[in-house]
């Protein structure tokens, strides 16, 4: 594509995207597609001859767009709500155009140095001490995999050479509320699902440090090898936070690596009055926080902050001849801090986002989201047939419809039906979770375009749906 | 950022990017930065107040750009040369704007279905049979990790639950020329570096299938458990290809998973007269090919083609309540086929690229790159003081300066010096490798903007640098 033609289409997309962002409210949040809808409309084979861009874009508008669930929609309240903000999109445009690979320092010094620098900005904003060094991974799943690989390397120093075959079984500890990515990482690393021991939680879904201590002692007495404990600040179901100080104490006593998963809630650490749950995380061995969740950065951008980057490097580094740097080049090669050799220039969009909003601007928006969520929680608390399932420390509310004289399993079915009914309207999209085996709904605020009117409308839709389902 | 302001800046970037692509020839390919140059010019902290976009962009132009090694430059001949093509950049603009997460079908049906569909287009273009299903990962490192995790799952069915602690040591086989990502995957999976047994190669750097057979038998006799063999089509050093048919025979006999790493060379399988090395790959258990290498797609986009997607899913799938789909939704959830839960909409750019160029257009460009490389090889062959280190089956030439009466270690130093001298000119960027312990240079063609004049200029620069170094 000639540069002049590229410019024409990029300008058309600039216009289309700006209209899209302007008119997002008019799209159904959750796609109304049924499985196979798109594939049925696509030819079985790639075209033999190249096609003009106007035809490709018209297929994008007509075929792809109806199959999009609009994560950028102000009424997207499912999972954790996110924003692909304007400055973030601009950063991605440039990153795709430069198309650099930040595997080695020399393969684009600015990509490596900006990544080191901007993750250091983030470290300061989060209130973490200087000892932490940052690296950007695609997702928290990968960041936690890398952190736990380092923990495994510390617990089984011979595993890098010999594998795990000769060691006593290793154990990672996390609360029953920890994210499924922790279990996936433990399985990937060869520790097996039994290698993750799930620790019970208290009534507010926080890890019980005494149960952790007992579990570690029990495992030690059985000849197992404790490797790491994962403390979650802002769990996926309820955004509960594990009590860091007592967990740290257990970790220190038994030599466990302490990994903190603050993938979602980390953004709140920038706001003084929301910082309480983070006290003590400066003692962690590693911390993951995802700017692509609650920091307005387009997916993917997960920051792993490492207090022992040398352990991560020792666990992963393998440098073949064709990747050796020149003598005298004493710089960081970021490929040594993760699984992937190839690395996009993700720091650019994060730099754009942090500068565009500024620290004060970020704090204001985080505060506004928390206030919207707590406002919704107050509505739920005041409504007779509704109840809340957990506190609201951040921007996510867990709640359910609980009409009188309804047994638990009826209540489960009712809430799923209410949720599906709301989601089908296309006006809002919520998700659900299970607490103690029962079904609860979740409303998560995290999109920059979300106003009180959107949250209010979701509440109206929920009550209407509940009335319909009770008929 | 208001949509109208977004539009203004996106239009400015459309113009800047188009000028950048037009004027790429004028940039030094390899950045002239020294370690720390960028960081020294950045403030220690993120700004407290948000900054205007013109200031951010002017810092991008003035501070970041000099630290960029221009992978999109027509004289980028290092590693494997790549292209972030116009349609690919447009696809990334849209993907960043929609900002969907393709973890579940319902979280954007079109993202999942387009990924399934466009990887199926690719499968057909590559000449692979229907049994293969595709999934997009970030890089070949991850694709190979996922493939080898599936292989591990088949070899150690209990490992998902119990870990590797009770099994006999597992072994993966790959040639001594296999990419370092294979070793990294084996270490990550808990098999240890000893878990990768490197098989010797013949004089053309192809795995010796008899040596493979002997190694497997030797390991079996020692009570080890063979897991997988990785055959490379297009190795990183010389682009040699392992002989698939005899490797497949060994794999079948001993129940090894056959993973084919065609991350770079896969593109050549689309061209009939280049297809010979791929004969037999339809019998593989998994294949990785990276459209972000030689298929004009911006990084990152690695396609893993799976003949046993159910084994991959069984190895990885963990579905917590908050990610459960609704009853009756019988669709693919792509999070089950990899480590990362969050997944960018990477299929969009690949769809744009395949449609824009068309199959015929892709074949033409691959052929042109191969011809450019072979033309360069002919120049090397004809020059008295230069020699070639390997055949040129694809678009990469391995060669060195070898003046008469120079011993091997002098020759090594000389070639590194020649390479550094050329790279310092900013007019071309080449990399090196080691063959049998000796230093060789590599010139890889893969950028759409590369013309014969660029390759000729590189050859002139190399000869000039050699003359200077010999003085």
Q: pLDDT of A295-352, one tens digit each?
A: 999 999 999 999 999 999 999 888 777 677 665 556 889 999 999 999 999 999 999 9
Q: Is residue A90 part of a domain?
A: no
Q: Is residue A54 part of a domain?
A: no
B68 to chain A: closest CA residue: A108
Place of tokens 């949720």: A419
Q: What is the three-class DSSP state of B352?
A: helix
Identify whether the C-beta of residue B291 lies closer than 8 Å to the C-beta of residue B351: no
Last residue of a domain, one of B321, B344, B367: B344
Q: Is residue B89 part of a domain?
A: no
**pLDDT more than 90, % of chain B:** 95
Q: Which of A60-64, A115-119, A162-166 has the lowest mean pLDDT?
A: A162-166
Please check the confidence at residue B322 and state whether its pLDDT lies above 80: no
Indicate which CATH number applies to the domain containing B424: 3.90.1150.170
Please check the confidence at residue A365 and state whether its pLDDT lies above 90: yes
Please check the confidence at residue B198 and state whether its pLDDT lies above 90: yes
Instruction: Dig out the tokens for B276 from the structure.
Output: 């010979």
The distance of Cα B400 from the centroid of its chain, to the nearest Å, equals 24
Give contacts of A139 with chain B, Cβ < 8 Å. 340-342
Q: Is residue B454 part of a domain?
A: yes
Decide the pairing of beta strands B286-289 and B302-306: antiparallel
**Same domain assignment for residues A445 and A370:** yes
Please check the confidence at residue B160 and state whether its pLDDT lies above 80: yes
Q: Is residue B197 part of a domain?
A: yes
Give contacts of A297 with chain B, Cβ < 8 Å. none
**Same domain assignment for residues B372 and B301:** no
A448 to chain B: closest CA residue: B1
Pick from B326, B298, B234, B232: nearest CA to B93: B298
A243-268 per-position pLDDT tens digit: 999 999 999 999 999 999 999 999 99
Mean pLDDT of chain B: 96
Give which of A21, A44, A57, A139 to mutate to test B binding, by max B Cβ within 10 Å: A139
**pLDDT more than 70, % of chain B:** 98
Instruction: Dig out the tokens for A4 from the structure.
Output: 């002049």
pLDDT tier for residue A162 given thresholds of 50, 70 and 90? very high
**Same domain assignment for residues A393 and A331:** no
Provide mean pLDDT across the span A33-59: 97
Return the pLDDT at B166.
86
Residue ranges making up the domain that contains A134:
101-344
pLDDT tier for residue A167 given thresholds of 50, 70 and 90? confident
**Same domain assignment for residues B22 and B112:** no
Q: What is the three-class DSSP state of A130?
A: coil
Task: State the DSSP code for B268.
Answer: G
**Same domain assignment for residues B385 and B325:** no
Q: Which of A287-301, B314-328, B332-346, B435-449 has the lowest mean pLDDT?
A: B314-328
Return the pLDDT at B455.
98
Q: What is the DSSP string of B189-204?
A: TT--GGGEEEEPB-TT
CB contact under 8 A, A341 and B139: yes
Provide mean pLDDT across the span A415-444: 97
**Same domain assignment for residues A314 and A285:** yes
Return the pLDDT at B458.
98
Q: What is the three-class DSSP state of B238?
A: coil
Please check the confidence at residue B247 and state whether its pLDDT lies above 70: yes
Overall number of domains in chain A:
2
Last residue of a domain, one of A344, A367, A399: A344
B149 has a chain A CB within 8 A of its CB: yes
Report d(CA A263, CA A303) in Å as an integer: 9
Return the pLDDT at B317.
83
Place of tokens 């000892």: A131
Return the pLDDT at B319.
76
**Same domain assignment for residues A331 and A444:** no
B41 has a chain A CB within 8 A of its CB: no
**Same domain assignment for residues A301 and A339:** yes
**Same domain assignment for residues A244 and A128:** yes
Packing angle of the helix pair A209-221, A244-254 (nearest 10 deg): 20
Give contacts of A65 with chain B, Cβ < 8 Å. 110
More confident call, A463 vs B331:
A463
Please check the confidence at residue B88 and state whether its pLDDT lies above 80: yes
Q: Is residue B303 part of a domain?
A: yes
**Same domain assignment for residues B110 and B220:** yes
Report d(CA A267, CA A252) in Å as an integer: 27
Please check the confidence at residue A416 and state whether its pLDDT lies above 90: yes
B16-41 per-position pLDDT tens digit: 999 999 999 999 999 999 999 999 99
Give contacts of B67 with chain A, Cβ < 8 Å. 108-111, 113-114
Q: What is the three-class DSSP state of A459?
A: helix
- B 264-293: CB under 8 A from A: 292
A330 to chain B: closest CA residue: B35
A440 to chain B: closest CA residue: B322
Provide mean pLDDT across the span A367-379: 98
Last residue of a domain, one of B286, B314, B344: B344
């Amino acid at each position: 594509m000639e540069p002049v033609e590229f410019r024409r289409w990029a300008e058309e997309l600039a216009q289309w995207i700006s209209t899209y962002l302007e008119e997002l409210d008019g799209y159904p949040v959750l796609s109304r597609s049924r499985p196979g809808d798109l594939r049925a409309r696509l030819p079985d084979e790639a075209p033999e001859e190249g096609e003009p861009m106007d035809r490709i874009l018209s297929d994008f508008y007509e075929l792809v767009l109806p199959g999009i669930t609009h994560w950028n929609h102000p009424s997207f309240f499912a999972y954790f709500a996110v924003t692909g903000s304007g400055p973030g999109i601009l950063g991605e445009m440039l990153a795709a155009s430069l198309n650099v690979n930040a595997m080695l320092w020399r393969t684009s010094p600015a990509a490596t140095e900006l990544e080191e620098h901007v993750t250091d900005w983030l470290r300061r904003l989060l209130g973490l001490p200087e000892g932490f060094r940052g690296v950007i991974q695609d997702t928290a799943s990968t960041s936690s995999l890398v952190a736990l690989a380092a923990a495994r390397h510390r617990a089984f120093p011979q595993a890098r050479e010999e594998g795990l075959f000769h060691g006593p079984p290793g154990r990672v500890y996390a609360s029953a509320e920890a994210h499924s990515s922790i279990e996936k990482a433990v399985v990937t690393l060869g520790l097996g699902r039994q290698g993750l021991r799930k620790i019970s939680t208290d009534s507010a879904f926080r890890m019980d440090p005494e149960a952790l201590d007992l579990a570690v002692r029990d495992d030690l007495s059985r000849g197992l090898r404790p490797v790491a404990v994962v403390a979650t600040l802002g769990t996926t179901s309820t955004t509960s936070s594990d009590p860091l100080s007592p967990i740290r104490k257990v970790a220190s006593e038994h030599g466990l690596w302490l990994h903190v998963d603050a993938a979602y809630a980390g953004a709140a650490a920038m706001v003084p009055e929301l910082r309480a749950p983070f006290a003590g995380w400066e003692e962690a061995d590693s911390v993951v926080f995802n700017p692509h969740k609650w920091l307005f950065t387009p997916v993917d951008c997960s920051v792993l902050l490492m207090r022992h980057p040398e352990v991560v490097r020792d666990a992963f580094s393998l440098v073949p001849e064709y990747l050796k740097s020149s003598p005298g080049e004493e710089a960081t090669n970021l490929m040594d801090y993760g699984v992937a050799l190839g690395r996009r220039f993700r720091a650019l969009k994060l730099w754009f986002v942090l500068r565009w909003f500024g620290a004060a601007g970020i704090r204001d928006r985080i505060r506004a989201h928390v206030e919207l969520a707590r406002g919704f929680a107050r509505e739920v608390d005041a409504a007779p047939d509704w109840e809340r399932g957990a506190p609201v420390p951040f921007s996510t509310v867990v709640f359910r419809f609980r009409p009188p004289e309804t047994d638990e399993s009826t209540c489960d079915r009712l809430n799923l039906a209410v949720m599906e009914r709301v989601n089908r309207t296309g006006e809002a999209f919520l998700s659900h979770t299970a607490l103690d085996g029962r079904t609860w709904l979740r409303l998560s605020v995290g999109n920059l375009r979300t106003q009180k009117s959107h949250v209010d409308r979701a509440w109206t839709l929920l009550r209407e749906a509940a009335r319909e389902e009770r008929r």
